[in-house]
Structure 1
Amino acid sequence: MRIVVPARDEALRIERCLDGIAAARTAVEALGVRTRCIVVADACRDATATLARATPGVEVVETRAARVGVARRVGVDAAGDDGHGIDPHAVWIASTDADSVVPADWLLVHLGLADRGADAVLGLVHLPPGDASAPALARWHACSQVGDRIHGANLGVRLDAYRAVGGFPPLAAHEDVSLVAALRGAGRSVVATTRASVRTSSRHEGRAPSGFASHLRTIVLAESD
């Protein structure tokens, strides 16, 4: 399994993100599954890359694109090239974000669905408690916590399926939605799950224009209208 984490100026959050990934890796490695974690430090002006490199078992690639689609694509390219000639059908790419924290069973859930034939897995995300009012959180859950919602912070794909549809497009936002649309258009098995939800940041100003933070801002700030 490969874990790809795009990161742009996430020095305040990257260590918590990688701690969560470490626990998830431990859970699947106990079953004999090999894992790699690649952080893509994209146009960072802070210590994100330095902190990631200081984390055991984490590889870092740096880019200057300032586009999350490019960062995810670069991460998958790095993850899929390990020099061992592994069958891409046997390689699972799990994607999350540097401002998010995965649960300990995250990779186990992805692995189980992959073993049952999924080419891609769509997982949910949730907000930290106390980060918004009760009405705002209720609107969030009503709008966003549905099984087929696409979140780059909780997305998995088989490497051969990913390559067959051209991978993540180099977009500034919605590269995850575009990838899933391509997979579905190609008749690949895309499975949604409500298990192993990922905790993500509730900030309203994000790194990608028209990305997750913009969507969240629309929902949460509706109470002020």
Structure 2
Amino acid sequence: MKRPGKSGRSAPATVRDRSLPAFRESLQLRLPPGPPPPALVAIPARDEAEVMPVCLAALAAQAMPDGLPLASGRFGVVLLVNNSRDGTAALARGMVGRLPFPLLVLEESLPPELAHAGEARRRAMEAAAFWLERDAVPDAVLLTTDADGRPARDWVARNLLALEAGADAVLGLITVDPEEHERALPAALRQRSAEEERYDSLLVELAARLDPDPADPWPRHDCESGASMAVALDAYRRAGGLPSQALGEDRAFCDALRRIDARLRHAPEAVVEVSCRLHGRAQGGMADTMRFLIGATDAPIEGRLEPALDAARRYRLRALARRLFRAPLDAVAAEAAGFGLEGPALAALLAQPSFGRAWEAVAAASPALRQRTPLERHDLLPETRRVEALLAPLRAVPAETPNPVP
């Protein structure tokens, strides 16, 4: 079972945090002397004494995909412990010097309105970014995962290789331990999860074939979770950094990257395994969702999973919008009816500084792209058959070849 990014719930508005400049100022005194490694893994932690050492041990065992050791000094870790009462920070400090990478442990006591996972991750990433910028480290990279995460042995290398291949950001695949999954969740919920994941994977393939992205070729996934994320420091800053949100900060950051036309790679080979706990640290997060679904396995399906024909329309129109971006008005007007818009209105929406912003505007305004009624549980199997039928002829064409848009 993979654990998706927190996309199924609406995120609260970003909190304006006037204390962040003070936090950055405090880092002047807390950062160690000397330059950091070129890549830093930022990890937020709150009351994670039980699992955090497992995460650090997994990072200590990092290697190249071929099994050869990762070059010494390739990465370090910034662990930001916030509002913790179980000795997480002291335990981590006891590991400093016994790990094959530099470990910086920071402690923060966040006010109630900011004491959430999104702000903790933001501060961890800001601390890592500040350290890299202080010493002007070239080609600097930020990675992040969760304190209960167990990165695969080649996780760091896979992320760095994808960035070296041209990505601005890399989103990894999140999985859970199968035995833990079976113990924690009833059979009915495991069955529902498997059906949702199957349908989701088919929609991702449909998108890759109807609207190919050279930076994110098939096979790929659509998980956008802070449990596995890597981003070039330059892209992180251009996107405005991680937003301060109690929920969905990872997806919101990816949306910000898309607005600057950053190249996002959803890499299935960059894997982090996380716990399948039913009492998590983020209110409204994955643990809360699983607890709710245990008693409501027939609840409507996660909002981003559209019916097959609606999804196909969205992907085709997105591919068409790419072709029309910065195109002459007559070319835009000739295709505007497909979006349910007048030519000048569509042209105005497309007149944005980036395609990401243009598509966001078009998707919000187009009647043809409005979200329909959420899928019901009983819709999953017939919709799965429908998307498989749509994919059958497309699979005869290489996924990287743009398909004609009707």
TM-score (norm 2): 0.51
Q: Conserved in 1, the CA contact under 8 Å of 2:48 and 2:148?
A: yes
1:3 and 2:41 are equivalent in the alignment: yes
Task: Classify 1:24/1:136 alpha carbon distance in 2 versus 1 (closer, same or farther; 3 Å).
Answer: farther
Shift of the alpha carbon at 1:141? Answer: 4.3
The code of the aligned residue for 1:153 comes to A
Q: Conserved in 1, the CA contact under 8 Å of 2:173 and 2:267?
A: yes
Distance 2:72 2:103 in 1: 19
Bigger strand fraction: 1
Partner of 1:36: 76
The code of the aligned residue for 2:243 comes to P
1:172 and 2:217 are equivalent in the alignment: no
Provide the identity percentage.
33
The code of the aligned residue for 1:111 comes to L
1:51-70 correspondence to structure 2 within 5 Å: 51-56=91-96, 57-65=102-110, 66-70=115-119
Shift of the alpha carbon at 1:93? Answer: 1.0
Specify every segment of 5 or more residues in structure 2 that has no aligned partner in the other structure, as ranges.
1-38, 97-101, 202-220, 300-406
Partner of 2:152: 103
Secondary structure (helix, strand or coil) at the match of 1:69 reads helix
Partner of 2:58: 20
Moved more, 26-35 or 211-220: 26-35
Secondary structure (helix, strand or coil) at the match of 1:195 reads strand
Moved more, 189-198 or 130-139: 130-139
TM-score (norm 1): 0.89
Secondary structure (helix, strand or coil) at the match of 2:41 reads strand
Partner of 2:137: 86
Task: Classify 1:23/1:72 alpha carbon distance in 2 versus 1 (closer, same or farther; 3 Å).
Answer: same
Distance 2:194 2:42 in 1: 26
Match of residue 90, structure 2, among 29, 46, 50? 50
Higher relative contact order (CA 8 A, sep 6+): 1
Distance 2:159 2:47 in 1: 28
Cα RMSD over matched residues?
A: 2.4
Partner of 2:227: 153
Distance 2:246 2:252 in 1: 12
Secondary structure (helix, strand or coil) at the match of 1:191 reads strand
1:182 and 2:256 are equivalent in the alignment: yes
Q: Conserved in 1, the CA contact under 8 Å of 2:171 and 2:224?
A: yes
Q: Conserved in 2, the CA contact under 8 Å of 1:68 and 1:172?
A: yes
Task: Classify 1:24/1:219 alpha carbon distance in 2 versus 1 (closer, same or farther; 3 Å).
Answer: farther
Task: Classify 1:115/1:140 alpha carbon distance in 2 versus 1 (closer, same or farther; 3 Å).
Answer: same
Any idea what the Cα deviations from partners look like across 1:43-96, whole Å, max 9, x if unmatched? 101111111111233211111222222212211222121442213xx1111110
Distance 1:177 1:22 in 2: 28
Partner of 1:129: 178
Equivalent residues, number: 223
Partner of 1:209: 283
Task: Classify 1:209/1:162 alpha carbon distance in 2 versus 1 (closer, same or farther; 3 Å).
Answer: same
1:193 and 2:267 are equivalent in the alignment: yes
The code of the aligned residue for 2:104 comes to E
Q: Conserved in 2, the CA contact under 8 Å of 1:140 and 1:216?
A: no
Distance 1:196 1:219 in 2: 28
Q: Conserved in 1, the CA contact under 8 Å of 2:48 and 2:88?
A: yes
